[in-house]
A = this chain, B = another copy of it.
């Protein structure tokens, strides 16, 4: 039988109201009583009943987080960031996983909406309309996705691609292949865009391959195409796909980066552990998780205007899978101009 506010009130010789105030709005009670009440509460190990509090305040002190796939290390980072920020503000978080299936998103969203004060929706795959429906009654902050009028935290994918292309161009690559991710991925769209712009500006050829599933076997499947299309460098939608590329290239005995350079995106922990270690665009997903929660809490607090969009910088992390472009073989010569 847990200790209630009534027990504390009795033990301290005051009313329940005073106990409640002493603990949640200390300014309103006489310093003497306040100290006594707090001491008694601590001594008895009193913890307010969250259900009772929630019933009257209408708040649950819970947040929701929806990610496409918990097994993807990228989202593990998001989860940790969200958890950290939530815990700091005394919120708990419910986590749900859509298993990369867009059709489960609306249902999960609705189910979660009932029991949380706000939701962080990470990399949703559903069309805009489905998302805005729930956003109407429960505050939702988007991650890795932008929908007009909705608060969002994104990372600057396009700039990451700019850095990647400039890096490759500086190494002499004149023809780059992109292994595209899911059509429904907003990030993929951003990356394609960034690639198009920078390759265009630098006069580098861009070959679009895919779309492929954002998994290891997607990369495996794409490797042969990348090799055949005459590119000397491949940029993958994400690191997992890049790892698949490396695996298949290794199996075919293709030297990386001597014959072909490979570049990933996300910088998951595994990327630093391969041989050769993967050059990749680091995206601050942990930080993005924190930022999303901060934005959500600001929205909930409802005190003044809130920054409703943050775009976090990305950064190229050069490791060992990118190198100087091979000399054009005789016959395939001068592709520039």
Q: From residue A163, how far is it (CB to closest CB) to chain B in Å? A: 25
A76: nearest residue on chain B (CB-CB)? Answer: B71
A210 adjacent to chain B (CB < 8 Å) = no
Q: Does A250 contact B (CB under 8 A)?
A: yes
Do A273 and B216 touch (CB < 8 A)?
Answer: yes
Given contacts A51-B54, A269-B71, A273-B247, contact A92 B92 (CB under 8 A): no
Copies in the assembly, this chain: 2
- In the assembled complex, which residues on chain B have CB atoms less than 8 Å from the CB atom of A269? 71, 216
CB distance from A98 to the nearest CB of B (A): 11
In the complex formed, the residue of B with least CB distance to A248 is B275
Shortest beta-carbon distance, A141 to chain B, in Å?
A: 19
In this complex, what residue of B is CB-closest to A73? B71
The verdict on A80 contacting chain B, using a C-beta distance below 8 Å, is: yes
Complex alpha-carbon distance, A47 and B114, angstroms: 8
Q: Does A60 lie at the interface of the complex (its beta carbon under 8 Å from any beta carbon of B)? A: yes
Main secondary structure of the interface of A (DSSP, over half): helix
A318 within 8 A of B: no
Q: Is the CB of B50 within 8 A of A52?
A: no
User: What are 27 pairs between A and B in contact, CB < 8 Å?
Assistant: A47-B114, A49-B55, A50-B51, A50-B114, A50-B115, A51-B51, A51-B52, A51-B60, A70-B70, A70-B76, A70-B80, A71-B73, A71-B76, A71-B77, A71-B80, A71-B269, A73-B73, A79-B95, A79-B97, A83-B95, A92-B115, A94-B94, A95-B95, A216-B269, A243-B273, A250-B275, A270-B270
| A160 located at the interface, meaning its Cβ lies under 8 Å from any Cβ of chain B in the complex | no
Which residues does chain B contribute within 8 Å of A60, judged by CB atoms?
A: 51
Chain B positions within 8 Å of A115 at CB level: 50, 92
A199 to B94, alpha carbons, bound, how many Å? 45
